[in-house]
Structure 1
């Protein structure tokens, strides 16, 4: 029934862009429709392709973005985030985040992360992380990490596996959530080659619920130059 298994051959590195694959030619039926673009239902947009492009566009509409993104290494997305007034993202704790090793890739990534430092103060964040002790430096970096580092390379290890961004307006320096992006898409280069799903939801109550979860994760977060493989929050609730 099938004359071939894919319309594109594997590239030299052996990896596919799964979004470019189509079912094999079916006899007497050589046309396969292109995947649909974003589909909107009420206040929700459903996205199955071109996640990077759509995420960048939504970021550029916001004043500030807060969120939890398991892995954040996509430079188009990082560049868009760098243009905002306020940014704070928590990523999964990984060894490659620590700035104590060589490598131009690490240097480039850490430089992109540094561009997200906006002199943001924790007391301006109206969620759990904003209630943490302020006796020391009250500022918060643009990117921090949380979770357990899988130093033993176990087949299963608990991770900070969220993938959501909360989009905010700023009112007198305080964020007001108005929308959230959530789904399976990782903000990485490889994420653009995977079959993923995302939803962009314009709802203040839903965005605020995600903001609360962000605040809890951020309150448990650590600097990128982390010291312990297990969870070791830098701050505590209170002053």
Structure 2
């Protein structure tokens, strides 16, 4: 969920185990002393964890480093200081509901869990289908495998669990053949003299 600031939603989420991935922002770090930043962190601190990486799909469960317990809130993204234009956001908004550890439903839509979103024109849909919920849980595992703690150290993406995305190996189907350009004949003394004579003849005309 990109942003989570709505107190009513946070109170509902605090009643159950939860693992959220939010957009990476400097305001989430304790070094930001602004009042609204402190309030946001205080609200998120009400959420509790309770989910383990080993119980979730790959690649999250296969990461060999880091603790098994997932913090209730982590972040993903790349953020720069100052007014440097748009930065890549974690804008993939969905919530998977688990029952006895199994995905049973998914909520998704444009609605952010924020105070302002409650006054917007938004959309959301809840899908009660185990296959679709499992697909969204796989997506969560991929995003979470690249996540960082809220006390991240660098603005650039830096997966704290040591997740490494597999490199794409070029195959015959994906490699575009390079067209060979015809090689120009090497210049020789005879050719240079002949071309110079032709140029002089054209000038005389």
CA offset at residue 105 of structure 1? Answer: 3.2
TM-score after normalising by structure 1: 0.64
> Are the counterparts in 2 of residues 90 and 218 from structure 1 also a CA contact under 8 Å?
yes
Which residue in 1 is equivalent to 2:8? 76
Cα deviation for residue 73 of structure 1 reads 1.0
In structure 1, the residue matched to 2:62 is: 131
Give the corresponding residue for 1:149. 79
Shift of 1:119: 4.1
Q: Distance in 2 between matches of 1:103 and 1:201?
A: 38
Larger Rg belongs to: 2
Query: Where does structure 2 lack aligned partners over 5 or more consecutive residues?
Result: 165-205
Larger relative strand fraction = 1
- How far does residue 124 in structure 1 lie from its aligned partner after superposition? 2.5
Residues 148 and 237 of structure 1: CA distance in aligned 2, closer, same or farther (over 3 Å): closer
**Native 8 Å contact 2:94 2:106 kept in 1:** yes
For residue 176 of structure 1, what is the aligned residue in structure 2?
A: 102
Shift of 1:90: 0.3
Structure 2 equivalent of residue 28 of structure 1: none
1:108 CA displacement: 3.2
Q: CA RMSD in A?
A: 1.8
Task: Tell me, in whole angstroms, the C-alpha distance in 1 between the residues paired with 2:142 and 2:83.
Answer: 27
Whether the 8 Å contact between 1:131 and 1:237 is mirrored in structure 2 is no
- Deviation for aligned residue 1:157: 1.9
Tell me how many residue pairs correspond in the alignment. 164
- Mapped contact 1:116–1:141 kept (Cα < 8 A): no
CA 1:150–1:186 in 2, change beyond 3 Å: closer, same or farther?
farther
Question: What corresponds to 1:95 in structure 2?
Answer: 26
Normalised by the length of structure 2, the TM-score is 0.73
1:217 matches 2:143: yes
Q: 1:229 to 1:162 in 2, by over 3 A?
A: same
CA contact (8 A) 2:94 2:109 kept: yes
Tell me how far apart the structure 2 counterparts of residues 168 and 127 of structure 1 sit (CA, whole Å).
17
Q: Could you tell me how far apart the structure 2 residues matched to 1:156 and 1:73 are?
A: 22
2: CA distance, partners of 1:119 / 1:165 = 16
Mapped contact 1:169–1:177 kept (Cα < 8 A): yes
For residues 178 and 128 of structure 1, the distance between their equivalents in structure 2, rounded to whole angstroms, comes to 20
Deviates more, 1:147-156 or 1:93-102: 147-156
1:202 counterpart residue number: 128
Deviation at 1:120, TM superposition (A): 3.1
Secondary structure of residue in 2 paired with 1:139: coil
Q: Write out aligned runs for 1:49-68 (5 A).
A: none
1:237 and 1:100 map into 2 onto residues whose CA distance is: 26
Distance (Å, rounded) in 2 between the aligned partners of 1:127 and 1:166: 16
